[in-house]
Every structure is written in structure tokens, then in C-alpha cells.
Amino acid sequence: MSGGVRTSRLAASAADRATRPAAGRIASAAGRAASHAGQAAVELVALLPLLVALALAVLQALAAGVAAELAGHAAQSGAVALAEGRDGEAAARAALPGWSRSRLTVAVHGTRVEVRVTPPSLLPGAGERLAASAAADAGAQP
């Protein structure tokens, strides 16, 4: 009987040794997963300034596009007003929303209306570089 007890103890000890390395492997895999989760957070924080800069660039491009549309609309409105015998500059200014009127330059030369709209910008000087110009002609001079 003592041989049977010794065999079962040996079997239990062998089984215990077989499970220990597996438990160690699981623990080390969990540790690696935790370190990767931390690395992802660090990478996200490192990319945030780039994402913010990209978002600002997209917004600046959209503002430049809006300025181009507004300039064309104001020039057309001014030319129509000239064709009807009204003040082209006043019509061009009235055709724009309030926020853009302070960024508007209108020049009337005979029957031609030239408009320049500077978009709002977050970077100094970027608005001037992205300013949109448009011109419209009311037809032949009387």
C-alpha cells in the first residue's frame, strides 16, 4: 500500500509541475496585454496634436471655400444691381451675412463689380493668403 500512496504522490506532484508553467504563461500573457493597452493610450495621446492640427486645417479649408462662394454671390448681386440702376457696392454688401461684411472689399469700375472676401482664420496671416476674389459684369457700359 505504501507503494500505491507513493505513486499517487508522484503523480500529483507531476501534475502540479505540469500546471505551473501554464499558469505562468497565462500570467505573462496577461501582463503583455496590459502593457499593450497602456501603449495604445500613449499612442493616442501622442496623436492628439496631429488630429487637432488636421481638424483645424480642414476647417480652414472649409472657411476658404465659403469665402469663395460668398465672393461670387456678392459680385453677382452687385452686377445685377448695377444693371437695374442701383448702387452695386451696397447690393454686394447686403448680399452677404453679417459676419462676412467686415471682411469684404468691393470695387466698382463702370459696369464691373470686383469683390474680395477674407475668410476667418485661426492662424495669423492665413486668412489673407486664402482670400477669395470674384468679379461680375453688368453688361456693356451705357
What distance lies between CA 69 and its chain's CA centroid? 20
Mean pLDDT across the chain, nearest whole number? 82
More confident residue, 2 or 137: 137
Q: What is the pLDDT of residue 7?
A: 58
Phi, psi of 37 (to 5 degrees): -65, -40
How far is residue 129's CA from residue 125's CA, in Å, rounded to a whole number? Answer: 7
Q: What is the pLDDT of residue 127?
A: 84
pLDDT of 24 over the 80 cut: no
Distance from first CA to last CA of the chain, Å, rounded? 128
More confident residue, 80 or 35: 80
pLDDT of 37 over the 80 cut: no
- Nearest 5 degrees, angle CA 135-CA 96-CA 132? 40
